[in-house]
Amino acid sequence: MPPLFINEKLKQEYYDKGYWSTSTVFDHFFEAVNKFPDQIASVDNTRKLTYKQLLVEVNKTVNGLKQLQVKKGDFISVQLPNWVENVIIYLACAKIGAIYNPIPITARLQELKYIISLCESKVLFIPELYRNFNYMNLVKNVQRDHPISHVIVVRGDLNNEESDAFIYFEELQTYLPTEIGQDDQEVKSDDLLVVLFTSGTESMPKGVVHTHNTILFVVKSMIETLFITKDDTVFMPSPVSHATGFLYGMNLPLTIGAKSVLMEHFVAKEALKMITEEKCTFSMGATPFLHDLLIEITRQEGKINLDHFRFFLCGGAPIPRHLVNEANKIGFKVLAVYGSSESPPHTVSRLDDSDELILSSDGKPVPGIDVKIVDNNHEELPDGEIGEEASRGPNVFLGYLKQPELTQKYLDHDGWYYSGDLCVLLPEQYIRVVGRKKDIIIRGGQNISPGEVEEILYRHPKVQQVAIIGVPDERMGEKAWALVVPVEGEKLTFAEMIEFLSQQNIAKYKYPEKLRLVSDLPRTSSGKIQKYKLREMVEKDLGIISK
């Protein structure tokens, strides 16, 4: 693997200031086990493990992986829902020094092939069936082009007639103990820990590389900023394959001995039940989670007690004023948070911020992180001017996996990550996001690359031109619309478009939710489609007033 970005001067500074240390993720977890062995560590829809029980599960998994010859630096890919097995496998990777690679449960053939190939994954964990989709069949198709040494099925049927082609998780955990051999290498805090895949302007996902130190700084800084303790319980509906779920559903609670409640598929009624039964104290996710949760709370008004619930961190889209007001009436606070997989949440509202400040900004940097607003030449702009947001700090990633040119595009030699987001710097270092330079759509906290979907739709025999745009939506933040100029004499229907996309093996959340046929697409003199004009047209028709 080619070298990633390391700024030795910054590295030493982060150590000198105590932002980084020699402790690993597993070290912090093991300390929590020793301090709070009987404290509940992780909960999902069917399982509940104490810290002591979780350690036992982790050690059994470590032993099983070693039997499969997994060593430090090997990639372990995991395509599972928000199940406690994800936590077990992650901690096992952290102990061995293997690189944990969570894959969205919604990924299909095209995305899975790409990720497995790029990571050269030695092991892949999958469910047998999840939400009526057969992952064993999916993997068989992947294996034709990209053989994987070992595929391990979690929560599968051991009597399945196809089981001979796979290893089951229960089998993995019963392998005989292996003595520590000469091949075992010490795991260090600067070693690679995780590769998170995120979509942006490029058509294929990008592998965002983090170390133990970058991840631990993020969770420690948020613990301090939001006064989180071992007595807190986080409710996490966001997938642990995304930065939000990974950081705050797994890493944050495990670092301090707190409890994590994972939800595999968000349904507001069931979510509220889990929050009340497990006495959750906070949550974090995209606006749709908060929107649906508040509706359900209102439905059950007088029947539930949420005195234990302190705040909801909301990112990925502007926070509607009425959601903040509704949460205040119920008794918890809505906070804004801003960041990305490359520079995980580096600005956040404070618990004592006014509602007006929360509504008008996306928080301010946590201690240790620098933020600036720059022009197209990366020259810093005065406060109050709109430009591209850049951040630098102990949380910033080391680069994109095996994509050095892309890394250099977004990460400079001084450690600044250029987000592509248009922002303005307000008084006291508060940030307000006003738009995006890069053409992505954020639907319910998930990034959609319009270029990827456009490229596929251009193959449809009835499509002459196509543009995918994001349209504001109160619940999802944005929804994707397809504006299509059909081939002369043809008329594409929405059903035809969806049927065509379903045959292309891409995740369903990338499908446009509306189709509009148009006679032409506005373009610049150089021929580039002017998507802002298309957005203005659609928003005007829908009666949406842009801020």
- What digits encode the pLDDT tens for the residues 110-157? 999 999 999 999 999 999 999 999 999 999 999 998 889 999 999 998
pLDDT at 506 over 60: yes
pLDDT computed for residue 108 by the predictor? 93
State the Cα–Cα distance between residues 229 and 232, nearest whole angstrom: 6
C-alpha span between 52 and 36 (Å, rounded): 8
Bridge partners of residue 75, in order along the sequence: 99
Residue 476 near residue 287, CB atoms below 8 Å: yes
**Lowest-pLDDT range of 143-147, 224-228, 405-409, 520-524:** 520-524
Residue 165 DSSP code? G
Work out the pLDDT band at 450, boundaries 50, 70, 90: confident
Position 447 confidence tier, pLDDT thresholds 50, 70, 90: confident
Decide: helix, strand or coil at residue 276: helix
Q: Which residues contact 184 (CB under 8 A, 6 or more apart)?
A: 71, 72
- E strand or H helix at 311, and its extent? strand 311-315
Sign of the dihedral defined by the CA atoms of residues 461, 462, 466, 472, in that order: negative
pLDDT in tens, 180-232: 554 578 999 999 999 999 864 445 789 999 999 999 999 999 999 999 999 99
Contact 187, 92 (CB under 8 A): no
pLDDT at 63: 96
Which residue type does 464 have? Q
* C-alpha–C-alpha distance, residues 300 and 235, integer Å: 19
Task: Give the CA angle between residues 142, 144, 145 to the nearest 5°.
Answer: 80
Mean per-residue pLDDT for 98-118?
Answer: 95
Residue 437: closest CA among 413, 410, 466: 410
Note the pLDDT of residue 227. 97
Which residues does 134 contact at the CB level (< 8 Å), separation at least 6? 128
Q: What is the mean pLDDT of the chain?
A: 92
Q: What is the pTM of this model?
A: 0.86
Which stretch of 65-69, 92-96, 160-164, 470-474 has the lowest confidence by average pLDDT?
160-164
Q: Which of 57-66, 86-95, 159-168, 212-221 has the lowest mean pLDDT?
A: 159-168
Q: Out of 24-28, 175-179, 365-369, pick the least confident.
A: 175-179
In this prediction, residue 203 carries a pLDDT of 53
Q: Is residue 102 pLDDT above 50, yes or no?
A: yes
Yes or no: say if 414 and 374 are a contact pair by the CB < 8 Å rule.
no
**Rounded distance between C-alpha atoms, residue 545 and residue 333, angstroms:** 27
- Which has more confidence, 389 or 360? 389
More reliable by pLDDT, 520 or 85? 85
**For residue range 230-281, what is the model confidence (pLDDT) as tens digits?**
999 999 999 999 999 999 999 999 999 999 999 999 999 999 999 999 999 9
Per-residue pLDDT tens over the stretch 253-264: 999 999 999 999
Amino acid identity of 457?
Answer: L
Asked if 172 contacts 148 with a C-beta cutoff of 8 angstroms, the reply is no
10 Å CB burial of residue 118 (0-12, 13-18, 19+) is: buried
Residue 73 has φ and ψ, to the nearest 5°, of 95, -10
Which residues are bridge partners to 470 per DSSP? Answer: 480
Q: Which amino acid is at 215?
A: I
Residue 547 has pLDDT above 50, yes or no: no
Cα separations (Å) of 286 from 260, 273, 323? 18, 19, 12
Dist. CA 454–CA 342, nearest whole Å: 25
Whole-number pLDDT of residue 239: 93
More confident residue, 165 or 377: 377
pLDDT of 201 reads: 42
